[in-house]
Amino acid sequence: MIYLIGYMGSGKTTIAKKLSLTLNVEYIEMDESIEEEAGMSIPKIFEHYGEEYFRELETNLLRSLRGDKIVSTGGGVILKEENRELLQKGTVVFLHALFETIDERLSNDEHRPLWSAGRETNQKRYEQRLPLYQTLADYTIQVDHKTEEAITKEVLNCLKS
């Protein structure tokens, strides 16, 4: 199992798709899987049930995964200790984007309920999560100002080593 972790907007889904094609391994986009299972969007899950409920759905999904897969995780999956333990059973690749890059990428994104809090709150959340990503990662790939192809190649090189 290969888990891609990183803050929202770091490119996890895009790189997971590319890795999936290159390695001919199924990929799972956790947020999409949760939406499909719940029958509602993540903003609606947050609105109706709250973040804690959503985090439990992430844990349940991680527990259920079997076989070889590339998993694009949600940005906050690393917040729960049980999730961190589950992730460590596979290879964890941290796609590290600077806050400025993420802020630029997500400036018009209305699908992410936690991004609507404002720049200062977003940056604080980013800075709080950063050490968790760093500690959990088997490999860290800096993604700022790189093409999808270059990032994918770097991840593949890490996986070969």
What local confidence, expressed as pLDDT, does residue 111 receive? 59
The pLDDT score that the predictor gives to residue 122 is 82
With contact defined as beta carbons under 8 Å apart, do 160 and 152 qualify? no
Q: Which structural domain, as residue segments, surrounds residue 123? A: 2-160
Spatial distance between the Cα atoms of 62 and 139, rounded to a whole number of angstroms: 20
pTM to 2 decimal places: 0.91
Q: What is the mean pLDDT of each run of 10 residues along the chain (161 residues)?
A: 94 96 96 94 91 94 95 94 96 95 73 63 90 97 95 95 78
Give the chain's domain count. Answer: 1
The domain that contains 45 carries what CATH number? 3.40.50.300
The helix/strand/coil state of 126 is: helix
Residue 32: per-residue pLDDT: 94
